[in-house]
């Protein structure tokens, strides 16, 4: 298996191919590879994501989850292989996506101004901005903090602001990188609730986590990454009840992978 794809990568996933008219789906990766200085970070990953809903990229730290997400958003470019969002290239698709990195960059401005900034960058007419900002802050439960400097918010509030800001223009796809790392259970619940709401409104969710419990709570399908490879991609029900991959099964059993 030194050079070829892992068996899991060759599978087709007809059961996930729910027919839909999502503008950016299916997301198709073929033999995706990413190297830094000759060091492989992503090894020949292939997958096909056709369903809307919440796709969770699960795996231990260092598996390549973040890099895969950044590749999908076009922040970095693959060394080899191909990646397409529906009929669009990654760069074309980005205008209809939003990404929330693990440590979101909040501008040195007020909470409201952070949302406002995206709207002005996207050239939303001034008249509409006020209402959109108000709706976004409402959804994030941050209305009363609108004029506070964004960076003085708590971790959970910052994460909710980042998601609200990302979703203010209802992107077709929302990419989230470990959105609840370092949050307490209450804040995790609030953030997950927001993610559900955004997903229910029709936005495709693509999210990484190393937290098995969180994956269980949120996933409609799971991509299991370990050691820079995609080992399994299955619906959540299938993955959690009977993982096909032996490493995935060990991971689900709570074993510490090395």
Partner 1 sequence: MNPGINEFSSAIGAAISMIVTLDPGLVEIVLLSLRISLSAVIIASIVALPLGALIALQPFPGRRGVVVLLNALMGLPPVVVGLMVYLLLSRAGPLGPMGLLFTPTAMIIAQSIIVFPIIAALSRQAIADLHEEYDEHLRSIGCTPMQSVVTLLRDGRYRLLTGIMAGFGRAIAEVGAVLIVGGNILHSTRVMTTTIALETSKGNLALALGLGLILVVLALSVNGTALVISDAAQRRYG
Q: How far is the CB of 59 from partner 1 (least distance, A)?
A: 22
156 φ, ψ (degrees, to nearest 5) = -65, -40
State the CB neighbour count (10 A cutoff) for residue 205. 21
Q: How far is the CB of 157 from partner 1 (least distance, A)?
A: 13
Do residues 71 and 81 lie in contact, with contact meaning Cβ atoms separated by under 8 Å?
A: no
Pairing of strands 229-235, 204-209: unpaired
Q: How far is the CB of 107 from partner 1 (least distance, A)?
A: 6
Under the binding rule (CB under 8 A), the answer on residue 179 touching partner 1 is no
State the CB neighbour count (10 A cutoff) for residue 180. 24
Q: Which two tokens mark 109?
A: 């401005």
Q: How far is the CB of 77 from partner 1 (least distance, A)?
A: 12
Under the binding rule (CB under 8 A), the answer on residue 2 touching partner 1 is no
Closer residue to partner 1, CB minimum distance, 115 or 225: 115
SS3 of residue 66 by DSSP: helix
Kindly state the DSSP code that residue 11 receives in the 8-state scheme: -
Q: Which two tokens mark 101?
A: 């990195």
136 to 175: interface string for partner 1, x by CB under 8 A:
-------------xxxx-----------------------
71 to 110: interface string for partner 1, x by CB under 8 A:
--x-x------------------xx--xx-x--xxxxxx-
Closer residue to partner 1, CB minimum distance, 134 or 169: 169
Among positions 117, 126, 138, 246, the unique one binding partner 1 when judged by CB under 8 A: 117
Residues in binding contact with partner 1, number by CB under 8 A: 21
Closer residue to partner 1, CB minimum distance, 122 or 170: 122
Residues 6+ apart with CB under 8 A from 36: none
Q: Which residue has the tokens 């060759």?
A: 10
Among positions 118, 136, 215, 248, the unique one binding partner 1 when judged by CB under 8 A: 118
Residues 6+ apart with CB under 8 A from 218: 54, 56, 192, 195, 196, 205, 207, 209
By the criterion CB under 8 A, which residues form the site for partner 1? 73, 75, 94-95, 98-99, 101, 104-109, 117-118, 121-122, 149-152
């Amino acid at each position: 298996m030194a050079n070829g794809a892992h068996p899991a990568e060759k599978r087709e996933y007809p059961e996930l191919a729910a027919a839909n008219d999502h503008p950016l789906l299916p997301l198709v990766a073929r033999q995706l590879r990413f190297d830094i200085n000759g060091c492989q970070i992503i090894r020949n990953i292939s997958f096909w994501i056709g369903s809307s809903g919440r796709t969770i990229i699960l795996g231990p730290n260092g598996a390549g989850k973040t890099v895969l997400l950044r590749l999908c958003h076009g922040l970095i470019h693959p060394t080899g292989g191909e990646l397409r969002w529906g009929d669009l290239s990654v760069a074309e698709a980005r205008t209809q996506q939003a990404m929330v990195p693990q440590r979101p960059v909040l501008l040195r401005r007020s909470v409201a101004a952070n949302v406002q900034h995206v709207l002005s960058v996207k050239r939303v007419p001034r008249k509409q901005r006020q209402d959109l900002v108000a709706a976004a802050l409402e959804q994030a439960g941050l209305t009363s903090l609108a004029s506070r400097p964004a960076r003085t918010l708590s971790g959970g509030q910052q994460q909710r602001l980042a998601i609200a800001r990302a979703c203010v223009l209802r992107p077709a796809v929302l990419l989230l990188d470990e959105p609840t790392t370092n949050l307490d259970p209450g804040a995790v619940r609030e953030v997950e609730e927001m993610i559900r709401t955004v997903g229910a409104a029709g936005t495709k969710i693509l999210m990484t986590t190393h937290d098995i419990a969180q994956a269980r709570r949120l996933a409609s399908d799971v991509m299991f990454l370990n050691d820079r490879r995609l080992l399994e991609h299955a619906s959540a029900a299938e993955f959690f009840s009977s993982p096909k991959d032996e490493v995935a099964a060990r991971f689900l059993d709570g074993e510490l992978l090395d």
